[in-house]
Amino acid sequence: ESELELCQPTGDGPIARHLQRWGEGLYAGGLAATNIDRLQAHLAAEKIAAVAEGGQLFLDPADAFGMPLVLSQYEPKPRRPGPVNYLYEITNTLASDWRQAAAHYARIFGLDARRFSAIGSARFGYQGTLTLFNPPARLDRIELSEAHDGNFAMGRFVARRGDSLYMCYVDANDVPDIVARLERAAARWTPRSKEGGAERHGLWVHPSALSGLLLGVSRRSLAWEWSGRPDLVQPLAA
């Protein structure tokens, strides 16, 4: 169900212009709908222009607070063996008011804003909300993070790019296995825990390790801890 798409320009276009301006990194976020035709009709009714190509819908960043979005028909796929279960989050960093962004996404995607979960971090200098699509069945969401403090990486990113796409998150079963893989590859990463010792809960993979992509990793279900349902977090084995 989840995938990372690698895009290389073949000529002038949005991908080439993005690379020329910002270098390698995260370009667009992807979402899936159970009925793409119905979604297209809903977007049209909400005065959101979506370009249809190859069975997908492409939203202009102006209609998604600086994020290019690609909308696809949902197709269940068998999970292949590996350390990552699925992608569950893209982060929309904001200079704009996060409340306006939340109301916008609720409107254009028909989301129930009562299900959203407020967030904020003194460690990373932001506040906002999680636009949870289908809780508690799934973690899928857009994180809205309003950040203005240049003392933090997210605030500096927003100062350069304004409303934009910042990072994404994956769910994993075995965080120590991912740590071992990163160490073997001499890839930079930051632990989630502060107490030291072997990291078992989550981490962030530095963009230098993934061609400009900042990737968060959390162990199975841990993201419910900051998503309004800590009771759904699966405890670690002793």
pLDDT at position 197: 74
Beta bridge partners of 28: none
Dist. CA 118–CA 35, nearest whole Å: 28
For range 143-159, the mean pLDDT: 97
Dist. CA 94–CA 163, nearest whole Å: 4
pLDDT of 53-97, one tens digit each? 999 999 999 999 999 999 999 998 888 888 999 999 999 999 999
pLDDT at position 80: 84
Q: Count other C-beta atoms under 10 Å from residue 178's C-beta.
A: 21
pLDDT at position 214: 98
pLDDT at position 196: 66
pLDDT of 37-47, one tens digit each? 999 999 999 99
For the CA atoms of 122, 127, 131, 132, the dihedral, rounded to the nearest 10 degrees, stands at: 20
146 close to 127: Cβ distance less than 8 angstroms: yes
pLDDT of 160-214, one tens digit each? 999 999 999 999 999 999 999 999 999 999 999 877 678 999 999 999 999 999 9
> Mean pLDDT across the chain, nearest whole number?
95
39 close to 31: Cβ distance less than 8 angstroms: no
Q: Is the model more confident about 3 or about 98? A: 98
Closest CA to 91 of 143, 126, 130: 143
For range 216-238, the mean pLDDT: 94
Q: Is the model more confident about 81 or about 115? A: 115
| Non-local CB neighbours of 202 within 8 Å, separated by 6+ positions | 175, 192, 193, 216, 217, 218, 219, 222
Closest CA to 40 of 29, 54, 62, 56: 56
Confidence of residue 149 (pLDDT cuts 50, 70, 90): very high
> What would the DSSP string read from start to end of 142-189?
EEEEE---TTSHHHHHHHHHSSEEEEEEEEES-HHHHHHHHHHTT--E
98 close to 85: Cβ distance less than 8 angstroms: no
